[in-house]
Amino acid sequence: MLDILFEMTPLLYAGVFVLGALIGSFLNVVILRLPPLLEHEWRCQCRELLELEGDASTPPPGLVFSRSKCPNCGHQIRAWENIPVFSYLALGGKCSACKSRISPRYPLIELLTAILFVMTLWHFGATFQGLTALLLTASLIAMAGIDIDHQLLPDNLTMPLMWVGILLSFWAIHADLPSAVAGAIVGYLVLWSIYHLFRLLTGKEGMGYGDFKLLAALGAWMGWQMLPLIVLLSSVVGALVGLVLMGTGKLKRDKPMPFGPFIAAAGWIALIWGRDIIDYYTRSSAFG
């Protein structure tokens, strides 16, 4: 039955597009709710450590079972109002109850996830490698969104992602075991070294420890060979975007800019086209 489905290419990609949009809808929930959940957990741990009585606060909504509500009026989102992309267009980008504006970021993340899922499956095919690449794609989107909002890359996402990458390397799904282990170690140490060198020279912190762990996770997934490309792409694009934002006045010189989204974007590009880029560079250097 699955073989028949995989042979029906248009149907397969249509299904992956719909799946990506649904996953994107869940990623919106993760981006919105995971940081408050982590903050509540940290507060509870601090109160327990300090032996303070009473609850820290009311627990925020969970990731799975809590229904979505309008942040302005508290209207519970009905099933037909929660269809990825379609509901946003049908509602005209407004809450059906209070008519307050719904952020366009929600359908954009749903659409982005759907498109990247199709591109990922197109590259890897309907294989276990392709399935794991979809998992990495979804994780990178979630972490990029959280870092943009909170300048935070949670250990709850980066560390499991790294261990999954190392686990997959036992079967050489994306990289062999030695390359994956070396990638995790080198990926962490590269940004850790840059961080401490920058702090030594300027007295400021240029990035967070979550960035180290994200690069370590990407090194575990793709091997140490991809790290130079990921670091180069993320640094160049990050610098260009930072200059543009400062030039337009949208980013002040003393205000930090999250680096995680650039690492995530560079990691996804390396996942899909990394080997082609490296091969092209190697051939060009050989003939140059």
- Condensed to tens digits (0 to 9), the pLDDT of residues 4-54 reads 555 557 888 899 999 999 999 999 999 999 999 999 888 887 877 887 776
Would the CA dihedral through 30, 35, 40, 42 be positive or negative? positive
The residue among 130 and 2 whose pLDDT is bigger is 130
The residue among 37 and 248 whose pLDDT is bigger is 37
- pLDDT at residue 64 tops 50: yes
Could you tell me where the beta strands, DSSP code E, fall in 180-284? none
Indicate left, alpha or beta for 203 from its phi (over 0: left) and psi (-120 to 50: alpha).
Answer: left
Residue 54's pLDDT is what? 63
Backbone phi and psi for residue 101, each to the nearest 5 degrees, phi listed first:
-70, 135
Q: What is the mean pLDDT of residues 113-142?
A: 96
- The answer to whether the beta carbons of residues 138 and 23 sit under 8 Å apart is yes
Q: What is the mean pLDDT of residues 111-123?
A: 96
Residue 186's pLDDT is what? 96
Residue 287's pLDDT is what? 63
- pLDDT at residue 151 tops 70: yes
Which has the minimum average pLDDT: 71-80, 201-210, 254-263?
201-210
Q: How do the residues of the chain divide into helix, strand and coil, expressed in percent and rounded to 5? A: 70, 0, 25
- pLDDT tier for residue 288 given thresholds of 50, 70 and 90: low
CA pair distance 85, 93, nearest whole angstrom: 10
CA pair distance 231, 122, nearest whole angstrom: 25
What proportion of the chain, given as a percentage, has pLDDT over 70?
94
Residues in Cβ contact with 174 at an 8 Å cutoff, skipping those fewer than 6 apart = 129, 132, 133, 165, 168, 180, 221, 222, 223, 271
Backbone phi and psi for residue 124, each to the nearest 5 degrees, phi listed first:
-95, -20
CA pair distance 221, 242, nearest whole angstrom: 28
Q: So where are the chain's domains? A: 1-125, 127-288
Which has the minimum average pLDDT: 209-213, 227-231, 244-248?
244-248
CA pair distance 280, 273, nearest whole angstrom: 11
- pLDDT at residue 56 tops 70: no
CA pair distance 213, 191, nearest whole angstrom: 9
- The answer to whether the beta carbons of residues 281 and 245 sit under 8 Å apart is no
Could you tell me where the beta strands, DSSP code E, fall in the chain? none
- pLDDT at residue 145 tops 80: yes
